[in-house]
Structure 1
Amino acid sequence: MLSSTLVLVLCLVGFALIHSLLASLPVKRVIRRSLGSKADSLYMPVYNLIAVITLMPLAYLLYENPGPLLYIIPSPWRWFMVAGQVIALIVGPRALRDAPHRFRLPAQLSAPNTSEAGHLDIHGIYRWIRDPFLLSGLVIMWLTPFMTTNLLVIYILTTIYLIIGSLHWESRLVAQFGDEYRNYQKHVHRIVPRLKAYYEQ
């Protein structure tokens, strides 16, 4: 019989495969060819919905089989950790609002340095950090005020997946925006926020 940890890892791998496949440019091209301009407004909501649905089995199994408890952070420190998680939860929607052009299908599927690729247009949270999604994901996970063996395994693997995904995402942004994004990379860290806001040169 498979151990609970192995089942959880298999569920996470399944989610990662589906998530990565749907985020790939070849699949996005097929979707846009099939749906036309409707894909531009439907892709992100459907993509996020599928992500939530495919995460639900993992969350349920982790709830049912957390594994041995490793630690619980006592009060009042746990509330500081929870507050950090709440702040990180706000970052995701803010990051989408501050750079919607990065997630539009026509821009992602366009050739570099074309009118469809658009301008990098750095503002909002991106003046302090290049990948707020990566930072918020790491904060939400690792500020959990308790830890079990199975949760630790999932968090370690998810951290690796998020970092690899961030590197892949940045390679797309370099392809889309070219030297404009390379210059931005020189001034703004991917994970550690700047103390002073960056403004495009």
Structure 2
Amino acid sequence: MFASIFILVLCLAGFAFIHSLLASLPVKRFIRRSLGSKADTLYMPVYNLIAVITIIPLVYVLYKYPGEFLYVIPSPWRWLMVAGQVVAFIVGPRALRDAPHRFKLRAQLSAPNSPEAGHLDIHGIYRWIRDPFLFSGLVIMWLTPFMTTNLLVIYILTTVYLVIGSLHWESRLVAQFGDQYRDYQKHVHRIIPRLKPYYEKE
């Protein structure tokens, strides 16, 4: 049991290291210097592809060594949980579509409040929640209708990693958009969606 948990933690640590390294500003600056304007269109697809490839070993080891079952949710509750996961899966692509300017290398690497940094432009799902990726990730994990010992360990560690990553991402958004984002933070929760949509002040 402990051996399988150790291997799983190593796989997760490897994924987190590669994922964080590629998301760091120094690496992004190096990529943009090397590729020029092509980096703006190539970075996100390649980044996502590498993320998928590097998480495969973790998924495989977890499949081979799931650990002891802690619980299995019976029907019909399990299908309600699966329905929640499906909704959460839709949130990620929607979040990218609603704020593509947040993920452009040129904007992320620009000086705060510069024309290249752009305007915050809050619309779509961001009117309800500041970090839809964190929200969807937590929902997908914790609405899994069964739980094993090894899965629980990975979910706990992944939750910590996602929360820390979200805080780091928000610090970049504050640097990029300044007071616009600080005002936005006062009105919209980072994880828990609002009941009413937020509308940016003109």
Q: TM exceeds 0.5? A: yes
Q: Distance in 2 between matches of 1:168 and 1:176?
A: 13
* Pairwise CA distance, 1:188: 0.2
The TM-score, its normalising length taken from structure 2, stands at 0.99
Any stretches of 5+ residues in structure 2 without a counterpart?
none
Any stretches of 5+ residues in structure 1 without a counterpart?
none
* Pairwise CA distance, 1:78: 0.1
Q: Which amino acid aligns with 1:192?
A: I
| Partner residue, 1:13 | 13
Alignment of 1:156 onto 2:123: no
| Partner residue, 1:3 | 3
* Pairwise CA distance, 1:27: 0.1
| Partner residue, 1:178 | 178
| Partner residue, 2:129 | 129
Q: Which amino acid aligns with 2:11?
A: C
Q: Alignment partner of 1:183: what SS?
A: helix
Q: Which amino acid aligns with 2:169?
A: W
| Partner residue, 2:199 | 199
* Pairwise CA distance, 1:2: 7.0
Q: Distance in 2 between matches of 1:55 and 1:193?
A: 28
Q: Distance in 2 between matches of 1:141 and 1:34?
A: 37
Q: Alignment partner of 1:70: what SS?
A: strand
Q: Distance in 1 between matches of 2:156 and 2:13?
A: 13
Q: Distance in 1 between matches of 2:2 and 2:68?
A: 17
| Partner residue, 1:188 | 188
Query: 1:1-201 counterparts in 2 under 5 A?
Result: 3-201=3-201
Name the CA shift for 1:181/1:145 in 2 (closer, same or farther; >3 Å). Answer: same
Q: Distance in 1 between matches of 2:92 and 2:149?
A: 27
Q: Distance in 1 between matches of 2:178 and 2:96?
A: 21
Q: Distance in 1 between matches of 2:2 and 2:60?
A: 17
CA displacement 1:51-76 (0-9 Å, x = unmatched)? 00000000000000000010000000
* Pairwise CA distance, 1:25: 0.3
Between 1:1-10 and 1:49-58, the stretch displaced more is 1-10
Q: How many residues end up aligned between the 2 structures?
A: 201
* Pairwise CA distance, 1:160: 0.1
Q: Distance in 2 between matches of 1:109 and 1:19?
A: 18
